[in-house]
């Protein structure tokens, strides 16, 4: 694997996110701290909780598919999974400050876009082993480094520090445990042993485009519904 592969995939991720912001301008404003809305942000936190739970199951499935074929890669994924388990509770705490208790969150269904993403992950794992999982997990950590702190700081200014303590705790945990570097090491090993850079890039582009579908659905179910109600 070439030394510039990480930079290349970071550039691909940035390119796809920039395209997402062009296609969904309000998502761009949300990510750059120019706009926030309480219902939009609250539902975004809820979907974060629902997606974390489903993603942990996907990671466990990928770990099962690795089996004893690559003990080093399995150990990295097992470490990441262990460190991520239960982190949805940090977001649940913040959601509670917006008036939604855990029972209400548990009764909510994930967006169709989230179920599509999770289904695509399972299908991809069955086809290409752990490579897609590692690409997805690395992208999640890259995304968090690029955008989550800014989004959370904007939410603190708009809604108060008490409503972002859990989210900030998650960001600080990821940073202190070097999850971005941890998952990049997993990506490197997965590309070398289970695929190639072209396949990794294809998955990365597809994942960001699925995230674009999520932000379209998030907008339609919150801000879009409010506009319809006013009309």
Domain boundaries, the chain: 5-230
Cβ atoms of residues 145 and 180 within 8 Å: yes
Instruction: Look at residue 2 in the predicted model and tell me its pLDDT.
Output: 56
Provide the percentage of residues in the chain whose pLDDT is more than 90.
82
* For the chain, the helix, strand and coil percentages under 3-state DSSP, each to the nearest 5: 85, 0, 15
Q: Cβ atoms within 10 A of the Cβ of 157, count?
A: 12
Mean pLDDT of 104-112: 97
| Token pair belonging to 168 | 């900030």
pLDDT of 4 above 50: yes
Alpha carbon distance 231, 228 (integer Å): 5
pLDDT in tens, 172-203: 887 878 889 999 999 999 999 998 889 999 99
- The alpha carbon of residue 178 and the mean position of all alpha carbons in its chain are separated, in whole angstroms, by 16
Give the pLDDT mean for 82-94: 89
When the pLDDT of each residue in the chain is averaged and rounded to a whole number, the result is: 93
Q: Is the pLDDT of residue 128 over 60?
A: yes
The tokens describing 172, both together, are 């600080």
Asked whether the CA dihedral 152, 186, 111, 28 is positive or negative, the reply is: positive
Structurally, at CATH architecture level, domain 5-230 sits in Up-down Bundle (1.20)
pLDDT, average across residues 139-164: 96
Is the predicted pLDDT of residue 3 greater than 60, yes or no? no
Q: Where are the beta strands (DSSP E) in the chain?
A: none
Cα(199)–Cα(212) distance, rounded to whole angstroms? 20
pTM of the model: 0.94
Residue-level pLDDT at 220: 96
Please provide residue 204's backbone torsions phi and psi, each rounded to the nearest 5 degrees: -60, -45
Query: Residue 95 corresponds to which tokens in the numbers above?
Result: 């959601």
pLDDT of residue 178: 87
CA distance 52 to 58: 10
Would you mind telling me the total number of residues written for the chain in this entry? 231
- In whole angstroms, give the CA distance from residue 44 to residue 14: 21
Six-digit token string for 60: 């466990």
Residues 119-147, mean pLDDT to the nearest whole number:
96
């Amino acid at each position: 694997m070439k030394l510039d592969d990480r930079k290349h995939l970071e550039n691909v991720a940035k390119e796809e996110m920039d395209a997402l912001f062009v296609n969904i301008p309000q998502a761009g404003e949300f990510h750059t701290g120019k706009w926030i809305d309480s219902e939009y942000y609250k539902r975004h936190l809820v979907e974060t909780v629902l997606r974390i739970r489903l993603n942990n199951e996907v990671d466990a499935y990928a770990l099962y598919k690795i089996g004893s074929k690559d003990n080093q890669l399995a150990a990295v994924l097992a470490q990441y999974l262990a460190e991520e388990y239960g982190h949805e509770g940090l977001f649940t705490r913040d959601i509670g400050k917006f008036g939604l208790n855990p029972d209400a969150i548990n009764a909510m269904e994930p967006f169709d876009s989230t179920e599509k993403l999770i289904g695509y992950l399972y299908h991809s794992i069955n086809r290409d082993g752990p490579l897609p999982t590692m690409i997805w997990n690395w992208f999640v950590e890259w995304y968090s480094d690029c955008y989550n702190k800014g989004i959370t700081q904007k939410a603190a200014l708009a809604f108060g520090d008490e409503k972002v303590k859990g989210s900030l705790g998650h960001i600080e945990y990821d940073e202190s445990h070097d999850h971005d570097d941890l998952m990049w090491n997993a990506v490197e090993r997965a590309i070398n042993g289970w695929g190639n850079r072209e396949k990794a890039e294809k998955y990365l582009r597809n994942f960001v485009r699925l995230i674009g579908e999520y932000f379209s659905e998030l907008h339609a179910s919150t801000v879009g519904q409010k506009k319809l109600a006013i009309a």
